[in-house]
């Protein structure tokens, strides 16, 4: 049996996709998606927690994301988790978790 790195989310875009075009002609779209979970705390009050997810799309999928996705729009997405690190301008190591997009759909009637 093969294990797979796969994630599925339904949430709202926190920003319009940021598009990066490379000299090679390759295109990258970067954006964030918020998901909410509600639960009852120990006092019986409902509490909602928001999680923010970094998403990246490459190539033709980046083109489609650029055209179809806008801040606030509800989206169902599928992709895989990736982890990377880099050194910032202050020489501090930063860790980033991203979802590399493989597919998405938007919901009719959601904010556009």
**Span 55-76, pLDDT tens digits:** 999 999 999 999 999 999 999 9
Note the residue count of the chain.
112
Helices (H), 1-112: 59-68
- Residue 109: the pLDDT is 67
Q: Give a yes or no: residue 66 inside a domain.
A: yes
Q: Give a yes or no: residue 78 inside a domain.
A: yes
Question: Taken in order 27, 70, 104, 38, is the CA torsion positive or negative?
Answer: positive
User: Rounded to whole angstroms, how far apart are CA atoms 65 and 68?
Assistant: 5
CATH code of the domain containing 81: 2.40.50.140
**What's the number of domains the chain is made of?**
1
Q: Compute how many other C-beta atoms are within 10 angstroms of the C-beta atom of residue 37.
A: 9
- Residue 111: the pLDDT is 60
Q: Give a yes or no: residue 93 inside a domain.
A: yes
Weakly modelled stretches of the chain, pLDDT under 50 = none
Q: Give a yes or no: residue 112 inside a domain.
A: no
| Residue range(s) defining the domain that contains residue 33 | 7-37+47-99
Q: Give a yes or no: residue 52 inside a domain.
A: yes
User: Rounded to whole angstroms, how far apart are CA atoms 13 and 48?
Assistant: 17
């Amino acid at each position: 049996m093969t294990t797979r790195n796969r994630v599925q989310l339904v949430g709202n875009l926190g920003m319009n996709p940021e598009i990066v075009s490379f000299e090679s002609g390759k295109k990258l779209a970067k954006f964030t998606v918020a998901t909410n979970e509600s639960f009852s705390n120990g006092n019986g009050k409902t509490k909602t927690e928001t999680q923010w997810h970094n998403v990246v799309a490459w190539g033709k999928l980046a083109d489609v994301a650029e055209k179809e996705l806008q801040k606030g729009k509800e989206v169902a997405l599928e992709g895989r988790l990736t982890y990377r690190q880099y050194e910032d301008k202050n020489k501090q190591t930063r860790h980033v978790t991203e979802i590399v997009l493989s597919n998405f759909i938007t919901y009719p009637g959601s904010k556009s």
